[in-house]
């Protein structure tokens, strides 16, 4: 990867993609395979077009993606081969309810409601009112 800096702009010149005939055939097969996700097929076409020597602006227009996506796809292919075209696993989301709060709510719901409450069983609303954290537990 090479970065050029000018006062007006910063732009990226990606990896050069030189494909052997075997690599090009493999990418053509991947791009036409009906059992491959559309994203992977599109990435294969992007690499094929880059291998043909097309400009990234033209590739981006043909593929309907940004020039940055073209750069990223070419880089991933050069570094990882066909495996670089497959979607990567993404990290899971942050746990929304802290473990201490979760265990407190579970313990509370395993007990019967106090007799003075007049409740026969716990509802989500009753637990949140008792806990004082309505915004955390109640789904709207």
Q: Is 92 among the domain residues?
A: no
Structure tokens of 45? 């076409």
Range of the domain at 64: 2-85
pTM for the complete prediction? Answer: 0.57
Convert 41-74 to b/e letters by CB count within 10 Å (16 or more is b).
bbbbbbbbbbbeebebeebbeebebebebbbbbb
Residue 4 or 106, more confident: 106
For residue 113, the model assigns a pLDDT of 81
Q: Are residues 26 and 71 in the same domain?
A: yes
Q: Is 93 among the domain residues?
A: no
Considering its fold, how many domains does the chain have in total?
2
Q: Are residues 6 and 38 in the same domain?
A: yes
Q: Are residues 112 and 80 in the same domain?
A: no
Q: Is 90 among the domain residues?
A: no
Q: Are residues 27 and 62 in the same domain?
A: yes
Q: Is 94 among the domain residues?
A: no
Q: What is the pLDDT of residues 13-69, one digit of tens each?
A: 455 788 889 999 999 999 999 999 999 999 999 999 999 989 989 999 999 999 999
């Amino acid at each position: 990867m090479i970065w050029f800096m000018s006062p007006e702009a910063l732009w990226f010149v990606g990896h050069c993609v030189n494909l052997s005939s075997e690599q090009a055939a493999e990418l053509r097969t991947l791009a036409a395979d009906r059992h491959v996700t559309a994203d992977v097929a599109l990435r294969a076409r992007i690499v094929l077009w880059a291998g043909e020597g097309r400009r990234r602006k033209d590739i981006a227009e043909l593929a309907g993606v940004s020039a940055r996506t073209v750069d990223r796809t070419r880089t991933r292919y050069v570094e990882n081969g066909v495996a670089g075209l497959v979607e990567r696993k993404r990290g899971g989301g942050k746990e929304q309810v802290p473990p201490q709060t979760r265990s407190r709510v579970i313990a509370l719901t395993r007990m019967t409601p106090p007799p003075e409450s007049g409740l026969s069983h716990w509802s989500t609303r009753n637990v949140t009112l008792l806990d004082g954290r309505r915004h955390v537990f109640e789904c709207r």
